[in-house]
Amino acid sequence: EEQLVESGGGLVQPGESLRLSCAASGFSIRSYWMSWVRQAPGKGLEWVANINEDESKKYYVDSVEGRFTISRDNAKNSLYLQMTSLRAEDTAVYYCVRPRLAYGYDAYDMWGQGIMVTVSS
């Protein structure tokens, strides 16, 4: 069975750091652009970042540019999101997502279960 499983969330204070991980199973992430999407409590979906197959291209939503870093380890079949200088407005459920088709942008047909990140003093 193909699946994505996020880990690493939790409660942190403003200004602190956290690293999210996403472990893929049942398929290889090697051929896919991978992304992170988040959802603040009671709010809509917000794309956060994506990364291409060989890590040569990385894109971020403006609000996290310079604070978050997306990375991947194709050998470990895993995706990561390093989050620094966290703010209260980063509080959200973070989803690891995969597009339908390899080697390009497409609709997200696979989502992890989501991991909660809470930034509060």
Nearer to another protein, 86 or 93 (CB): 93
Please tell me the total number of residues recorded for the chain in this structure.
Answer: 121
Return the H-helix or E-strand segment holding 11. strand 10-12
Among 29, 32, 95, 119, binds another protein (CB under 8 A): 95
Q: Which stretch binds another protein (CB under 8 A): 7-15, 16-24, 77-85, 111-119?
A: 111-119
Nearest alpha-carbon partner for 119 in 38, 51, 44, 49: 38
The binding track of 40-69 with respect to another protein, each residue x by CB under 8 A or -, is ----xxxx--x--------x-x--------
* The token pair that represents 76 in the structure block: 């470990």
CA distances from 73 to 16, 34, 43, 96 (A): 24, 11, 31, 14
Would you count residue 102 as binding another protein (CB under 8 A)? no
By the criterion CB under 8 A, which residues form the site for another protein? 44-47, 50, 59, 61, 95, 100, 105-109, 111-114
